């Protein structure tokens, strides 16, 4: 449970942002987890190439609406609700199992 200040928005327990710090985001955000991956980079008009990238997985939003961002901050990203991610992860397992 997040603490509740009188008249203030509920602050989720998983949020690590110090909202009082100048320049801090106003949105609630959890600690991220970095994931090294190899991604297929497509540049229009050129053959795709494999590139080492680092994705970050970050929970953000509020207690009512949570979003899970997975992306590299540039080209690659998905920002879905937790149930959407569960369906995507299950589908990934199905697709990979079919190819084994």
Q: Is residue 15 part of the contact set for Zn ion (CB under 5 A)?
A: yes
Q: Which one, of 41, 29, 17, lies nearest residue 69 by Cα?
A: 29
Task: Enter the DSSP assignment of 87.
Answer: H
Per CB under 5 A, the segment of 22-30, 47-55, 62-70, 78-86 that binds Zn ion is 22-30
In DSSP terms, which residues pair with 35 in a beta bridge? 55
Q: Which one, of 45, 71, 49, lies nearest residue 60 by Cα?
A: 71
Q: Is residue 17 part of the contact set for Zn ion (CB under 5 A)?
A: yes
Spell out a b/e string for 20-35, using b for 16 or more CB atoms within 10 Å of the CB, else e.
eeeeeeeebbbeeeee
Taking the least distance from each CB to Zn ion, the nearer of 15 and 55 is 15
Q: Is residue 60 part of the contact set for Zn ion (CB under 5 A)?
A: no
What would the x/- binding string for Zn ion be over residues 65 to 94, using CB under 5 A? Answer: ------------------------------
In DSSP terms, which residues pair with 57 in a beta bridge? 33, 70
Closest approach of Cβ 35 to Zn ion, in Å?
23
Taking the least distance from each CB to Zn ion, the nearer of 62 and 72 is 62
Residues that bind Zn ion (CB under 5 A): 11, 15, 17, 28
């Amino acid at each position: 449970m997040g603490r509740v200040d009188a008249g203030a928005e509920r602050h989720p327990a998983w949020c690590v942002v110090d909202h009082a710090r100048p320049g801090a985001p106003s949105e609630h955000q959890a600690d991220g987890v970095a994931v090294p991956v190899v991604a297929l980079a497509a540049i229009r008009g050129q053959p795709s190439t494999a590139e080492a990238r680092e994705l970050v997985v970050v929970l953000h939003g509020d207690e009512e609406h949570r979003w899970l961002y997975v992306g590299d901050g540039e080209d690659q990203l998905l920002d879905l609700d937790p149930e959407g991610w569960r369906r995507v992860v299950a589908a990934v397992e199905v697709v990979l199992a079919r190819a084994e």
